[in-house]
Amino acid sequence: MEKLRSLSEYFSNPKQVSTDIGDLKKGFRYFAHFIPSTFATSRVDGHDKEIVWNIIFDLHVRYSTQAESVPLFKAIRAEVIDLYNSDPWLNKTPGVSRVAISAASELLQDLPGNNPNFIIQTMGLAVSQRVRFAF
């Protein structure tokens, strides 16, 4: 979540990147709702395990007109993809060797005339991390 908050042009308020969907009602143009997800482990050797953390978040963009909806969404999505692709070690987080980002759903868009209007896509992050467990 902290990594995404570093896109301050889009997420100037910490509540715009949240695990509380209620924060969406605060009127932000851009909002990311993080949802707990799955993980997989495999033994590497001894006490080391490779864990793949699957992180899911819904990227919401509020828009006023249908014409602006997709361009606004494409701009922030490109920034989010670049953010994670440009730093596959997540600010040198211990043991992190890889981050992969993907779209986990199709674009969802409100019908024109709803108030407010949102365009939303579920994004997925797969973070590979080697972790040492003490027994």
Burial (CB < 10 A; 0-12, 13-18, 19+), residue 45, is exposed
Q: Is the model's pLDDT at 18 over the cut of 80?
A: yes
> Does an H or E element contain 44, and which?
strand 39-45
Q: Is the model's pLDDT at 29 over the cut of 90?
A: yes
Cα–Cα dist 58/123, whole Å: 6
94: left (phi over 0), alpha (psi -120 to 50) or beta: beta
Q: Is the model's pLDDT at 111 over the cut of 90?
A: no
Q: How many domains does the chain have?
A: 1
- Domain, as residue range, for 50: 2-132
Residue with the two structure tokens 């979540």? 1
Q: Is the model's pLDDT at 114 over the cut of 80?
A: no
CB distance 99 to 127 below 8 Å: yes
Most confident of 14-18, 40-44, 130-134: 14-18
Question: Which pLDDT score, from 0 to 100, does residue 15 have?
Answer: 97
Integer angstrom CA distances of residue 113 from 26, 62, 64, 71, 88: 20, 13, 9, 18, 40
CATH of the domain at 41: 3.30.2000
Q: How many other C-beta atoms can be found within 10 angstroms of the C-beta atom of residue 14?
A: 11
